[in-house]
Amino acid sequence: MAFKVVHYINQFFAQVGGEEMAHIAPELREGKVGPGVALEAAWKGEAAIAKTIVCGDSYFAEHEKEAKATILDWVKAEAPDLFIAGPAFNAGRYGYACATIAKAVKEELGIKVLTGMYEENPGADLKKDILIVATANNAAGMRQAAPKMAALALKLMKGEEIGASVVEGYMNQGIRVNFFEKERGAKRAVDMMIKKLNDEPFVTEYPMPTFDRVAPNPAIKDLSKATIALCTSGGIVPKGNPDHIESSSASHYGEYCIEGVLDLTPETYETAHGGYDPVYANADADRVLPVDIMREFEAKGIIGKLHNKYYATVGNGTAVANAKAFAAEYAQKLKADGVDAVIMTST
């Protein structure tokens, strides 16, 4: 007896139409439609798509509650062994719909679910809640995506143990599982290093967090008319650290007025930063935040003006998400104050 599957796809993959048909309400069809053909082929008779649900991407986005209710009713009536959605590649609304409806089916009906999409699809935000197979960013990747999804789907239906995300091809859910490696760590590290030296491919065991990129802004045309602000992650604060910025894992930043301040002295400024020897910064905070030189340049007319406020936090162990939020906030203040450029110093 083959496993029973319900498949969710959008109007485009059902060949109803493109954007002009994205408003269609969910419809229930018998058997497989569109990408379901490739999934079923990969299951080689072990599983079959009983029903396909087709829903317009805009309809789902704009009528999420109604769409969810209708689809959950249909899936419940069918009681499949697995609910599979997509793959959505980099289609944003489709990916969101796939992930959202899969999550609802899993949580409200207790049915196993699987979807697939590109890692930067907004729907991939739900990767911790449901299994999402990572796919290419466009439908040309269907040939790779369908067998990967089909294989993982079959494992789920059979109740087999699901391996690590890098092996099975789903998006990392941030779950760690203890197991014994065949080779000890030192050997694995040396093997990896030799591969790296030989320009051979290797797989890291500890991927670094990914950082997005922002394109550089145009250069300053005329420095002598520019207002320049100083910012630092080096923890320079007025003596006594009035805002109590933590020496590690800072939870906030400080905004400090330097109107009329020509030089940072040991009596007036210090660092709140832990993790590096504070002696040098405490003796002369200009070594981290060069107010003295900026004033000099201001007086000489090299720069138009040193902005009268500076922003500081402590970079030591501070979460990327926090740092990002701090700067996103004070960048708007800098902008509102007409600052033309920023010098950020880090320790």
Binding site for another protein (CB under 8 A): 208, 211-221, 223, 226, 228, 231, 233-234, 276-281, 283-284, 286-290, 292-294, 296-297, 302-303, 313, 323-324, 326-328, 331-332, 334-335, 339-347
Q: Is the Cβ of residue 54 or residue 294 nearer to another protein in the bound state?
A: 294
Q: Do 298 and 286 touch, CB atoms closer than 8 A? A: no
* Least CB distance to another protein at residue 177 (A): 28
What's the rounded Cα separation, in Å, for the pair 27 and 66? 13
* Least CB distance to another protein at residue 17 (A): 37
* Least CB distance to another protein at residue 221 (A): 8
* Least CB distance to another protein at residue 346 (A): 4
DSSP 156-188: HHHTPPP--HHHHTBPP-S-------SS-HHHH
Q: Which helix (H) or strand (E) holds 51?
A: strand 47-55
Q: Which helix (H) or strand (E) holds 147?
A: helix 142-158
Q: Do 133 and 170 touch, CB atoms closer than 8 A? A: yes
* Least CB distance to another protein at residue 323 (A): 5
CA atoms within 13 A on the CB side of 69: 4
* Least CB distance to another protein at residue 132 (A): 26
Q: Do 284 and 264 touch, CB atoms closer than 8 A? A: yes
Q: Is the Cβ of residue 13 or residue 330 nearer to another protein in the bound state?
A: 330
Q: Is the Cβ of residue 124 or residue 294 nearer to another protein in the bound state?
A: 294
Q: Is the Cβ of residue 115 or residue 347 nearer to another protein in the bound state?
A: 347
Q: Is the Cβ of residue 186 or residue 321 nearer to another protein in the bound state?
A: 321
Helix axes 36-43, 142-158, angle to 10 degrees: 50
Q: Dihedral angle at the C-alpha atoms of 60, 62, 65, 68, nearest 10 degrees?
A: 0
Residue pointed to by tokens 């805009």: 58
* Least CB distance to another protein at residue 255 (A): 14
DSSP 76-107: HHH--SEEEE---TT-HHHHHHHHHHHHHIII
* Least CB distance to another protein at residue 296 (A): 7
Q: Is the Cβ of residue 175 or residue 321 nearer to another protein in the bound state?
A: 321
Q: Is the Cβ of residue 35 or residue 278 nearer to another protein in the bound state?
A: 278
Q: Is the Cβ of residue 26 or residue 315 nearer to another protein in the bound state?
A: 315
Residue 225 CB partners (closer than 8 Å, separation 6+) = 304
Nearest to 115 by CA among 99, 136, 93: 99
